[in-house]
A and B are shown apart, each in its own frame.
Chain A
Amino acid sequence: MVVRGATLPSGERADLLIAGAEILEVGRVTDASGATVIDADGLLALPGLVDLHTHLREPGFEQSETVLTGTRAAAAGGYTAVFPMANTFPVADTAGVVEQVASLGRDAGYATVQPIGAVTVGLAGERLAELGAMATSRANVRVFSDDGTCVSDPVLMRRALEYVKAFDGVIAQHAQDPRLTVGAQMNEGARSAELGLTGWPAVAEESIIARDVLLAEHVGSRLHVCHVSTAGSVEVIRWAKARGIPVTAEVTPHHLLLTEDLVATYDARYKVNPPLRRAEDVTALRAALADGTIDIVATDHAPHPVEAKECEWDAAANGMVGLESALSVVHQSMVETGLIGWEDVARVMSEAPARIGRLSGQGRALTAGSPAELTLYDPAARGPFDVDRLAGRSRNSPYLGLGLPGRVVATVHAGYPTRLDGAVRPADEVAALATRALEAARG
């Protein structure tokens, strides 16, 4: 396969020659007889995007999403690897469940599925799950998280941080003090006061992050902070990094673009945890992503069926889908604002998440010898983000009807296209290509 005339993140134009699962040549490809040619004139070539925070909902919640439909959404959004969270049913707290999820991902073939293991049994926050068994399983788990709930017990958090050092793991914390957020419905502040919705105070996030960075420093462990949402959290993480504490942090696309003002509609598509915050928080999060205080963008793709959102606010589920829209949202909030360039986008959406998750074969710069994991993006495309842009099972996107810049034209995973000419390839074709690629890899 030859990608003709793509623009690399650096701004250079180049052809990419892909053979098998590898990029053979980057530059001017003259001898490409017999190869499939993708005309990438005007398109940006980025390393395949890597999402460190995805909810694929399988096993247990297949009415919302499955590994197949969720990775199809990933391919639509330019992703070649996703890290599904452990809050399935049964919870991904044993080697059996994480191996099953990884295997479903391999069969579907749309993206690398690298499961995240639960920190505690059943996400109950009481006993450590078999972290070592998950690490040494065929799923090769390195990221552990109780996402959806916080590991709030300080002793348990300390032990988890210490324990995963044995296999270079990392704890990804959902920072939310449970007692400070009982019944919480939206960011606590002027808006919650007016709308009469129970507040989710910023301090409930910031106090947990402050505690956890100090614990990580004390025991010398890696800590990753999920979905940072407040200006105060940014300050705490900035302080921790300046002190040399090995902490990394993520921000979601929606926290980079949307504010709590949207809650005034009581439209439950805007209900998410952590909640949408103030415009000042959005500004601080953008600045933190630009200066490296926040390392990555992660989607927190959280599919829900219609009935979980078509109801009164209090009864609605938290979460929004994000895989299909993430690159466009980062384009609008970070690139069009001049805060970062496309090389930074490649770093925060591909290289750094793969590095934090210890996922080899992903997040590599597009050079000869790299794995053929890439996405082709048309930054000049314009138009409303409508429902045909969604490729997963659920429709709970907050961006429907909004104008977002850019469009993913093609995604290449393991050397074969999962999306081409602006359309996701059919499941049977992708599954067959995946099987062939696996056989080729085995030799």
Chain B
Amino acid sequence: MRHLLGTKGLARDEALALLDIAEDMAAVQEREVKKLPTLRGKTVVNLFFEDSTRTRISFEAAAKRLSADVITFSAKGSSVSKGESLKDTSQTLQAMGADGVVIRHPASGAPQVLATSGWIDAGVVNAGDGTHEHPTQALLDAFTMRRRLHGAASRGRDLDGVRVVIVGDVLHSRVARSNVWLLETLGADVQLVAPPTLLPVETSSWPARVGYDLDAALADGPDVVMMLRVQAERMHAAFFPNSREYARRWGLDDARFDRLPATTMVMHPGPMNRGLEIAARAADSAQSTVREQVANGVSVRMAALYLLLSGDRGDA
């Protein structure tokens, strides 16, 4: 794997290989010494043009546990805020000998521009670009589902027939997009539920059913309910009237949670708005995978860095 830019176009065997390597990485996390020497001497740069402490420290932990040297380049307080271009920044990293670049950027497509520009030789991992993709989040979500469903027998398994309902601001969500493409590749059945204003106007080609009614979607007893974070600024742009109405119609409140089968997983990419898209009871229940998602994030990111940076990188 040369770069990890998105889950769209990621082949099934590539995705499964990454998830299986993540299982190995997870096994290492259970040891007393959590560190592998695999990427010793390699330099990984976390290039963050957008604040995201969670994702940044997850990648940082992943790189360090593989013994890579980690440099964090945060746009805040750096030359980027003085108007330095993506090109100049990446050429600086190239000159410093970066082997891998983990990039988070507010502009959709920025990681692809970085990977295809010829400015840099490093492998590029997309850590979230605009409203486009967040592939490691989708991979850690799939990893989490697989582990809950199959436990120790997860290796080699896909998500064939698993019914997933994704709820919330699909329009602005890179998590939703990456999940839709990856879940389709792994054989899951995906349903999107959102206010009509927070869905793209045209989704007929998406491998997912799309609806507005959360109760109807939950009535089928899905295997997974994934709640997306709602940004407060959306209601100011008239996407919905206010947070009370949003919570009433599209929030996983206690009543909706109680109607779910005890086997339904409740997922959230974090950080949660408790009381808005998800009530405390659902978030803190045994069905919630929120903390597992965080732990699994490190394993999946270790797997991604391992595939990109160890040994010969193919051109794929």
Chain B's nearest CB lies how many Å from the CB of A183?
A: 10
Point out the residues of chain B lying under 8 angstroms from A314, CB to CB: 106-108, 130
A197 touches B108 (CB 8 A): yes
Asked whether A312 and B177 contact (CB < 8 A) given A192-B200, A193-B202, A196-B131, the answer is: no
Point out the residues of chain A lying under 8 angstroms from B65, CB to CB: none
Identify which of B8, B87, B174, B204 contacts A310 (C-beta below 8 A): B87
The CA of A188 and the CA of B107, in the complex, are separated in Å by 17
CB within 8 Å of A: which B108-157 residues: 108-110, 112-113, 116-117, 129-133
**Residues 189-207 of chain A, each 1 if its beta carbon lies under 8 Å from chain B, else 0:** 1101111111101000000
B203 touches A193 (CB 8 A): yes
Q: With an 8 A cutoff between CB atoms, is B206 at the interface?
A: yes
Identify which of B8, B85, B206 contacts A307 (C-beta below 8 A): B85
B177 touches A266 (CB 8 A): no
The CA of A196 and the CA of B131, in the complex, are separated in Å by 5
B200 touches A193 (CB 8 A): yes
The CA of A310 and the CA of B110, in the complex, are separated in Å by 11
**Nearest-neighbor residue (CB-CB) of B109 within chain A:** A266
Point out the residues of chain B lying under 8 angstroms from A265, CB to CB: 112, 116
Q: With an 8 A cutoff between CB atoms, is B105 at the interface?
A: yes
Q: With an 8 A cutoff between CB atoms, is B201 at the interface?
A: yes
B174 touches A196 (CB 8 A): yes
Chain B's nearest CB lies how many Å from the CB of A442?
A: 51
Q: With an 8 A cutoff between CB atoms, is A315 at the interface?
A: yes
**Nearest-neighbor residue (CB-CB) of A191 within chain B:** B202
**Nearest-neighbor residue (CB-CB) of B133 within chain A:** A196
Point out the residues of chain B lying under 8 angstroms from A194, CB to CB: 8, 177, 205-206
Asked whether A193 and B201 contact (CB < 8 A) given A314-B107, A314-B130, A315-B107, the answer is: yes
Q: With an 8 A cutoff between CB atoms, is B86 at the interface?
A: yes
Point out the residues of chain A lying under 8 angstroms from B203, CB to CB: 190, 193
Count of chain B residues with Cβ under 8 Å from any Cβ of A? 28
B174 touches A266 (CB 8 A): no
**Residues 308-337 of chain A, each 1 if its beta carbon lies under 8 Å from chain B, else 0:** 001111110000000000000000000000
A313 touches B133 (CB 8 A): no
A195 touches B109 (CB 8 A): yes
Asked whether A190 and B113 contact (CB < 8 A) given A311-B87, A314-B107, the answer is: no
Identify which of A193, A196, A310, A312 contacts B206 (C-beta below 8 A): A193
B201 touches A196 (CB 8 A): no
Point out the residues of chain A lying under 8 angstroms from B205, CB to CB: 190, 194
B113 touches A312 (CB 8 A): yes
B113 touches A266 (CB 8 A): yes
Chain B's nearest CB lies how many Å from the CB of A347?
A: 36
Chain B's nearest CB lies how many Å from the CB of A191?
A: 8
A311 touches B201 (CB 8 A): no
Point out the residues of chain B lying under 8 angstroms from A189, CB to CB: 201-202
Asked whether A196 and B113 contact (CB < 8 A) given A312-B107, A313-B108, the answer is: no
The CA of A199 and the CA of B200, in the complex, are separated in Å by 9
B201 touches A199 (CB 8 A): yes
Point out the residues of chain A lying under 8 angstroms from B131, CB to CB: 196-198
Identify which of B87, B117, B129 contacts A196 (C-beta below 8 A): B129
The CA of A190 and the CA of B130, in the complex, are separated in Å by 17
Asked whether A312 and B109 contact (CB < 8 A) given A195-B132, A196-B177, the answer is: yes
The CA of A190 and the CA of B207, in the complex, are separated in Å by 12
Point out the residues of chain B lying under 8 angstroms from A313, CB to CB: 107-110, 113
Point out the residues of chain B lying under 8 angstroms from A315, CB to CB: 85-86, 107
The CA of A172 and the CA of B249, in the complex, are separated in Å by 46
The CA of A199 and the CA of B87, in the complex, are separated in Å by 26
Identify which of B85, B105, B106, B108 contacts A195 (C-beta below 8 A): B108
**Residues 83-104 of chain B, each 1 if its beta carbon lies under 8 Å from chain A, else 0:** 0011100000000000000000
Identify which of A192, A195, A201, A312 contacts B110 (C-beta below 8 A): A312
B108 touches A188 (CB 8 A): no
The CA of A201 and the CA of B129, in the complex, are separated in Å by 22
The CA of A192 and the CA of B87, in the complex, are separated in Å by 24
B201 touches A197 (CB 8 A): no
The CA of A111 and the CA of B295, in the complex, are separated in Å by 67
A196 touches B130 (CB 8 A): yes
Chain A's nearest CB lies how many Å from the CB of B130?
A: 5
The CA of A315 and the CA of B110, in the complex, are separated in Å by 10
The CA of A112 and the CA of B129, in the complex, are separated in Å by 46
**Residues 165-203 of chain A, each 1 if its beta carbon lies under 8 Å from chain B, else 0:** 000000000000000000001001110111111110100
**Nearest-neighbor residue (CB-CB) of A182 within chain B:** B237
**Residues 1-16 of chain B, each 1 if its beta carbon lies under 8 Å from chain A, else 0:** 0000000100000000
B112 touches A266 (CB 8 A): yes
Point out the residues of chain A lying under 8 angstroms from B8, CB to CB: 194
Chain A's nearest CB lies how many Å from the CB of B197?
A: 13
The CA of A185 and the CA of B130, in the complex, are separated in Å by 12
The CA of A189 and the CA of B8, in the complex, are separated in Å by 18
Point out the residues of chain A lying under 8 angstroms from B130, CB to CB: 196-197, 314
CB within 8 Å of A: which B238-296 residues: none
Point out the residues of chain B lying under 8 angstroms from A201, CB to CB: 201
Complex A-B: 28 CB contacts under 8 Å: A185-B108, A188-B201, A189-B201, A189-B202, A190-B200, A192-B200, A193-B202, A193-B206, A194-B206, A196-B109, A196-B129, A196-B131, A196-B177, A197-B130, A199-B200, A199-B201, A266-B112, A311-B86, A312-B105, A312-B109, A312-B110, A312-B113, A313-B107, A313-B113, A314-B106, A314-B108, A315-B85, A315-B107
Contact surface of A with B, Cβ cutoff 8 Å: 185, 188-190, 192-199, 201, 265-266, 307, 310-315
Given contacts A188-B202, A194-B8, 16 further A-B contacts (CB under 8 A): A190-B204, A193-B200, A194-B206, A196-B109, A196-B130, A196-B133, A199-B200, A265-B112, A265-B116, A312-B86, A312-B107, A312-B109, A312-B110, A313-B113, A314-B107, A315-B107
The 7 closest A-B pairs by CB, nearest first: A193-B200, A196-B132, A266-B109, A196-B131, A314-B107, A312-B107, A196-B108
